[in-house]
Structure 1
Amino acid sequence: MKYFTKSFSAFFEDLANNNQKEWFHANKKRYEADVKKPFENFLSDLITAIQIEDPTLAVSPKDCVLRINRDLRFSTDKTPYNLHYSAVVSRAGRKDKSVPGLFLRFSPEEVGIMGGAYVLDKGQLHGLRMNLSKNPDSLQALIQEKNFKTKFGTILGEESKRMPTEFQGASEHNPMLLKKQFYFMSKREPDLITSDHLLTELMTYWHAARPLNEYLTSIIHN
């Protein structure tokens, strides 16, 4: 099924040249017809497809979609709108980004597909490191799984420059302990957005991400 037309990318291409509130408000009907509504329709079907295999996913599209408005509080770039449309499809939706799930970002340049744990507080990170120090092979087995490697490659994330004393020795033999984030990602060409196979393709990424996402969830949100 095709959810989007070329008008989706065209809206963001025009927004890039007119990133101001006056232009956006003048084109709000276009935004709602070409971006917001088809994206929510797509998310609804994606969530339904996932729920068949994971009934614990009790969210709606509105729980998952991120605002098109940029957070300007700490940015020197004061343009008000993002040039992409994004969603967090997880058990917590956008409310708690520490819950692993599937993060989607659609733009005229690419389709970004991400998973894992991007935002961890101090306690969550400590618990994950404790588990990794005791069971280093568990994570490695998931990373080396063929489907995961084909779709995502490996785990990414910022690393700590100074480790807690209890992990300093272990981190020399297990570099994953250095990480402060445990996420993974893949990028696809933007023509996937208008493809008839968009939903089917993204479900293959969900399947590839599921074992690692569930592993991280079991530790972070035990």
Structure 2
Amino acid sequence: MIEAVVFDFLTQLKANNERDWFHENKAFFNEAKASFEASMQQFIDIVHDADPTIGDLTPKECVFRIYRDTRFSKDKTPYKTNMGGFVAKGGRKSTMAGYYLHVEPGACMVAGGSYCPPSDVLKAIRREIYNFADEYKAILHNDEFKTVFPEMFEDKLKMAPKGFPKDFEDIELLKYKSFAPLHASTDDELTGDGAADHVRHIIKTLEPFNSFINRGITTEEDEIVL
């Protein structure tokens, strides 16, 4: 699914993360970029088979730029040392829960859900979990889901979120600032003959989680009362 040229370029970029090297190797970058975009089309197709609600998307709508915004960062290296894309209804800038492919030598992953959503979306997700906690927990506690996604992005509040009762028995579920399951993949799992099947299994397992989250995001607030 992911070709060797992508890993080769990213490995060399990590060792030479500077503008002069990048400009001298622009043809190398363009080759790796085109290869990754072709892989992203495969990824989009796999996601669409499992979750048609994403609509018709192109790699251009989903792939993130490799250029870093260094204006407010202490790290002034100009380029990301990974390639990634987010597939959701509306593309990479969508606030809907979606499916993320991250390619980085030695640190690849397939993930999804809703990462650092804006406050209104975060409230909607928490409201859905509050009102349908048993349904949400059934998804999280499903044996296959726990195997594929052994961890969630762990940025959490210390206190109960505003607007929700502190004595809610599942209040810990509402403290997350992101609702993003993660699956670490080896480089070989994304490049071997079984790469597409590997990704397909992850996406199929993730779809019920995303469906639940997106139901909350798209539900009008006055339809469900805390």
Work out whether the TM-score is over 0.5: yes
Aligned ranges for residues 56-205 of structure 1 at < 5 Å? 56-57=53-54, 58-96=56-94, 98-164=95-161, 166-171=163-168, 173-205=170-202
Superposition RMSD on alpha carbons, in Å?
A: 1.9
Does the CA contact (< 8 Å) of 1:136 and 1:174 recur in 2? no
Bigger mean CA offset, 24-33 vs 191-200: 191-200
User: The residue matched to 2:85 in structure 1 has which SS?
Assistant: strand
CA apart distance, 1:206: 0.5
CA apart distance, 1:172: 5.4
CA apart distance, 1:199: 1.7
Distance 2:18 2:162 in 1: 49
Does the CA contact (< 8 Å) of 1:64 and 1:93 recur in 2? yes
Distance 1:111 1:138 in 2: 30
Q: Percent identity?
A: 29
Does the CA contact (< 8 Å) of 2:6 and 2:33 recur in 1? no
Instruction: State the one-letter code of the partner of 1:55.
Output: P
CA apart distance, 1:53: 4.2
CA apart distance, 1:92: 2.1
CA apart distance, 1:178: 1.4
**Structure 1 residue 220 and structure 2 residue 217: aligned?**
yes
CA apart distance, 1:155: 3.5
Which ranges of structure 2 fall in alignment gaps of 5 or more residues? Answer: 220-226
Bigger mean CA offset, 130-139 vs 44-53: 44-53
Count residues in correspondence: 218
Does the CA contact (< 8 Å) of 2:10 and 2:104 recur in 1? yes
Distance 1:3 1:162 in 2: 42
